[in-house]
Structure 1
Amino acid sequence: MLNLSSHHLQTIQAHAESTYPEECCGLLLGHLSSDTKMLIEVLPTENSWDGEMVDVLQVVDDSSEGKFSKRNRFSIAPQVMLKAQKNARDRNLNIIGIYHSHTDHPAIPSEFDRAIAWMEYSYIIVSVRQGSACDLKSWTLDDNHQFQPEEILTVSL
């Protein structure tokens, strides 16, 4: 279960709408226990997807050669991940997940999303249709590296 505030949801949805028609992305910082995650901070990041990423990640999904762009892929730069991880650790927080948007597609993970996902993380996907955020869901990987829906509980922080 992922516990968060309505402010967190608004931050993610606003970021997704502001980057449309490209995908947005960002990090979820908080506390992780055995069965729940408490989101403390949403950290919007730049979508660093570029042409070089196509070559690097071609092995993940080679079915759409040449069709990858920021409209349907996202990437968080390694140096951004490292800086966020150090900053979180200094504040006694962890990276507990990643969020991104799907432009004009449902808030359901793609095969690409699954292939790059890490165990224990929450993956929030927000669907943005014609510039408006319309659906938001969270997912986690099971022991077979398949996405399962994750319950979102909106709490007062």
Structure 2
Amino acid sequence: MLKIKQADYDAMRQHGEETYPHECCGIMLGRPVIPGENEVVELMRAGNTRTDSAHNRYHIAPQELIKAQREGRKKDLEIVGFYHSHPDHPAHWSKTDFDEAHWYGCSYVITAVAQGKAEVTNSFLLRGSNEDDKVFDHEKIEVEA
């Protein structure tokens, strides 16, 4: 399960609308509550550094990941997941999303943005210990007021 405040949930979806027709991306800082359950405390927007196909791919620069880790440590938080949008595509992971996911135990949130309007938002927990046994499990999103 992914626990997230309503304001942060809305901010992720709005980010997708703002970057349409390109994919947005960002980092979720928080705490793992128990194995398989993450709580988001703060979002960090990231720039999509993909120049070849930003309309259907995203990439977060390593410098931004390091910055997020450092900011998190100052607040006793860690990276618990990532979010991105799928312009005019379903809120489900693609083969590329799966191939490029390497943060085990993290939540990967995807918002479908149709014609500039955020629609469905889903989350997937990356389980496993290496490339041979990794899987994405659909996870419930609990939006807290």
TM-score normalised by length of structure 1: 0.85
**1:101-133 superposed Cα distances (whole Å, 9 cap, x missing partner):** 001000000011111112111000000000000
Q: Does 1:72 align with 2:72?
A: no
Q: Give me the whole-angstrom Cα distance separating, in 2, the residues matched to 1:75 and 1:132.
A: 22
> Could you tell me how far apart the structure 1 residues matched to 2:46 and 2:126 are?
22
Q: 2:142 corresponds to which letter in structure 1?
A: L
Shift of residue 50 of structure 1? 2.3
The alignment's C-alpha RMSD in Å is: 1.1
1:96 aligned to which of 80, 83, 97: 80
Deviation for aligned residue 1:142? 3.0
Q: CA deviation at 1:154?
A: 1.5
- State how far apart, in whole Å, the 2-side matches of 1:124 and 1:116 are: 14
Which of the pair is proportionally richer in strand?
2
Farther off after superposition, 141-150 or 5-14 = 141-150
Deviations 1:61-102 (A, max 9, x none): xxxxxxxx0000000011011011111111100010000000
Structure 1 position 141, deviation (Å): 2.0
Give the aligned partner of residue 2 of structure 2: 2
Q: TM-score, with normalisation over the residues of structure 2?
A: 0.92
Give the AA of the match of 1:91.
Answer: K
The answer for the alignment partner of 2:30 in structure 1 is: 30
Shift of 1:45: 1.1
Matched-pair contact (CA < 8 Å) for 2:38–2:106: no
Match of 1:106 in 2: 90
The residue aligned with 1:151 is: 140
Q: What do the CA deviations read for 1:17-67 (whole angstroms, capped 9, x no partner)? A: 00000000000000113232111011111111124xxxxxxxxxxxxxxxx
1:20 corresponding residue in structure 2: 20
For residue 7 of structure 2, give the secondary structure of its aligned residue in structure 1. Answer: helix
Count residues in correspondence: 139
Q: What corresponds to 1:129 in structure 2?
A: 114
Give 3-state SS (helix, strand or coil) of 1:92's partner.
coil
SS of match in other structure, 1:98: strand
Q: Which residue of 2 aligns with 1:55?
A: none
Cα distance in 1 between the residues matched to 2:56 and 2:143: 28
- Which amino acid in the other structure matches residue 152 of structure 1? I
Partner of 1:57: none
C-alpha distance in 1 between matches for 2:74 and 2:6: 26
